[in-house]
């Protein structure tokens, strides 16, 4: 077998000392990672061996082992058919699932490891199908050539630790480059979603994409249209949640793929002229995303990152050239919230996620709407009430939205927002702002006014909420007096 050995191999061709050192580091990391998972992986492999089949750690698991970042999700490939895999893993695993069996994949859990075993296969789309056609193969080489990128087309046969690398994935890993095992045209024709995976892996691994791969992405961008919205959404999420999303998003835009899956992003590259100046909205958006990431406290936050990415998508539709040379984008946050909702629904996001992200887009300018003056208590209450459970994210988004190079202006905005957060904290302590309700509930309103359930009760409740937001907590007698005073004006 090409490049097969009992250990991670040294490269065959001559290299510089720097490249050789990089490869030796990769090898040491791989040995360490493989030793960690060996008790479970080798035990499973011996069971396949005893049944007359082979088993190899494959794809992303091998790549991540070489990078020193192998987790507890292990991917294997085998010459056993799915029904044979089930016979082998059922007596051994803690749990087994068959949701991917139509595509040749059996999943199982053993101790802390989530394992997938996939029969050697090849799959391809026809020109119109959204679902791949799966056929099983008979050799590891046949399986690896259909993988998306060379760094994912490596395998380690177990338990003997025989390394298989027919397409130079180890060298590409050391060089931090993404190439396809065959031609990129063949690869993307087989599965167009691989074009988005190129951008995702660039964002996750901080790798460069080979020029011929980028060229194929540009030429075949329209092919992404046959992929289902759900698969596009999942790939986009992985990219956005990656360590370097700017890198992947740039590739999607520059290749023309974003025009098909997220057209609002390339639309931010507004034309500029010498008479009407405004900041580059596209570059501003990517910077806001990165600044939002810097403010994350508990790991990647999809809601915050989507809101940062989409917060200004209403600007192209609302751009106006003013007579004094300025450019305005009046109400772009309202327009942007509607556009956000429409795009996220098209990408099959959950209702809750659509609601949360579009709400943040709608509110991202609220802080600036109050100008530089002192915030009233009622303004602070409304800010908290309108943000609701998204208040913490709104804090981060608002701070991230400052990309000015003017340090004095940036510091002034930061201090102003510090002041607002302090005001919110004080009022929250005094008034429990997170659960603002009227001083009188619906039953009390009906009893005081002597009315039955109906629209009038809802109207009165809303009025009492406005009074609560404006004045803060009221004594019961004062609240009753305010209700009666308002009711008298209603005829």
Q: Are 57 and 158 in contact (CB under 8 A)?
A: yes
What count of Cα atoms within 13 Å lies in the side-chain half-sphere of residue 299?
A: 0
* Token pair recorded at residue 355: 């609601």
Quote the CA–CA distance of 278 and 403 in Å, as a whole number: 13
Quote the CA–CA distance of 216 and 145 in Å, as a whole number: 18
Quote the CA–CA distance of 402 and 65 in Å, as a whole number: 39
Q: What is the pLDDT of residues 91-137, one digit of tens each?
A: 999 999 999 898 899 999 999 999 999 999 865 556 566 566 678 88
**DSSP letter string, 304-354:** HHHHHHHTTTTHHHH-EE-TTS-EE-TTHHHHHHHHHHHHHHHTT--HHHH
Q: Out of 10-14, 48-52, 87-91, 390-394, which region has the weakest mean confidence (pLDDT)?
A: 10-14
The mean per-residue pLDDT over the stretch 331-353 comes to 96
Containing 141, the helix (H) or strand (E) segment is helix 140-145
First to last CA, the chain: 91
Q: Which of the two residues, 289 and 447, has the higher pLDDT score?
A: 289
pLDDT at site 6: 43
Beta-bridge partner residues of 155: 58, 164
Is the pLDDT at 183 greater than 90? The verdict is yes
Q: Is 292 exposed, middle or buried (0-12, 13-18, 19+ CB in 10 A)?
A: buried
**Residue carrying the six token digits 């009046």:** 330
Q: Are 386 and 363 in contact (CB under 8 A)?
A: yes
Q: What is the pLDDT of residues 474-490, one digit of tens each?
A: 788 888 888 888 888 88
Q: What is the pLDDT of residues 355-364, one digit of tens each?
A: 999 999 999 9
DSSP symbol at 5? B
Of all residues in the chain, the percent with pLDDT exceeding 90 is: 54
* Token pair recorded at residue 51: 């049944």
Is the pLDDT at 428 greater than 80? The verdict is no
**Residue 163 dihedral angles phi and psi, to the nearest 5°:** -85, 130
What angle in degrees, to the nearest 10, is found between the helix axes of 193-205 and 245-255?
150
| Domain-wise residue ranges, the chain | 1-175, 304-435, 442-488
pLDDT at site 121: 84
Q: What is the pLDDT of residues 302-322, one digit of tens each?
A: 999 999 999 999 999 988 887
Q: What is the pLDDT of residues 219-240, one digit of tens each?
A: 999 999 999 999 999 999 999 9
Is the pLDDT at 22 greater than 90? The verdict is no
Q: What is the pLDDT of residues 40-79, one digit of tens each?
A: 999 999 999 999 999 999 999 999 988 888 889 999 999 9
Quote the CA–CA distance of 228 and 482 in Å, as a whole number: 56
Quote the CA–CA distance of 212 and 196 in Å, as a whole number: 15
Beta-bridge partner residues of 124: 133
Displacement of CA 385 from its chain's centroid (Å): 27
Q: Which CATH number fits domain 1-175: 3.40.50.800, 3.40.630.30, 3.30.460.10, 3.40.50.300?
A: 3.30.460.10
Q: Report the length, in residues, of the chain.
A: 491
The mean per-residue pLDDT over the stretch 271-290 comes to 75
Q: Are 75 and 60 in contact (CB under 8 A)?
A: yes
Pairing mode, strands 208-209 and 55-58: unpaired
């Amino acid at each position: 077998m090409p490049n097969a050995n009992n250990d991670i191999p040294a490269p065959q061709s001559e290299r510089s000392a720097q490249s050789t050192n990089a490869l030796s580091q990769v090898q040491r990391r791989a040995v360490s990672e493989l030793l960690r998972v060996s008790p479970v992986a080798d035990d499973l492999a011996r069971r396949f061996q005893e049944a007359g089949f082979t088993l190899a750690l494959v794809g992303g698991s091998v790549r991540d082992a070489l990078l020193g970042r192998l987790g507890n999700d292990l991917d294997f490939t085998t010459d056993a058919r799915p029904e044979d895999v089930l016979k082998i893993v059922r007596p051994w695993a803690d749990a087994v699932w068959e949701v991917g069996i139509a595509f040749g994949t059996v999943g199982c859990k053993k101790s802390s490891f989530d394992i997938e075993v996939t029969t050697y296969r090849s799959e391809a789309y026809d020109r119109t199908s959204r679902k791949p056609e799966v056929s099983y193969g008979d050799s590891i080489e046949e399986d690896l050539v259909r993988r998306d990128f060379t760094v994912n087309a490596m395998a380690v046969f177990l338990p003997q630790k025989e390394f298989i690398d027919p397409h130079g994935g180890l060298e590409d890993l050391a060089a931090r480059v993404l190439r396809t095992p065959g031609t990129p045209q063949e690869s993307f024709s087989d599965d167009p979603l691989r074009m988005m995976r190129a951008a995702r892996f660039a964002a996750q691994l901080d790798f460069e994409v080979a020029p011929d791969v980028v060229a194929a992405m540009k030429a075949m961008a329209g092919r992404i249209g046959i992929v289902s919205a759900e698969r596009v959404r999942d790939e986009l999420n992985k990219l956005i949640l990656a360590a370097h999303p700017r890198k992947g998003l740039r590739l999607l835009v520059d290749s023309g793929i974003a025009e098909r899956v997220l057209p609002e992003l390339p639309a931010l590259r507004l034309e500029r002229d010498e008479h009407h100046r405004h900041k580059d909205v596209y570059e501003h958006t990517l910077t806001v995303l990165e600044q939002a990431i810097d403010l994350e406290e508990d790991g990647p936050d999809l809601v915050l990152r989507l809101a940062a990415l989409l917060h200004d998508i209403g600007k192209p539709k609302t751009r106006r050239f003013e007579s004094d040379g300025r450019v305005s984008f009046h109400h772009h946050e309202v327009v942007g919230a509607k556009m956000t909702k429409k795009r996220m629904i098209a990408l099959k996001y959950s209702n809750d996620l659509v609601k949360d992200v579009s709400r943040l887009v709608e509110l991202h300018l609220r802080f600036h709407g109050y100008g530089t003056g002192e915030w009233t208590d009622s303004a602070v209450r409304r800010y908290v009430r309108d943000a609701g459970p998204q208040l913490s994210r709104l804090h981060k988004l608002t701070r991230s939205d400052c990309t000015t190079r003017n340090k004095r202006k940036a510091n002034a905005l930061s201090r102003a927002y510090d002041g607002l957060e302090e005001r919110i904290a004080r009022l929250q302590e005094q008034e429990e702002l997170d659960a603002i309700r009227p001083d009188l509930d619906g039953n009390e309103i009906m009893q005081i006014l002597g009315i039955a359930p109906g629209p009038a009760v809802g109207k009165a409740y809303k009025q009492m909420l406005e009074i609560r937001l404006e004045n803060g907590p009221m004594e019961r007698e004062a609240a009753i007096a305010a209700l009666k005073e308002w009711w008298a004006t209603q005829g």
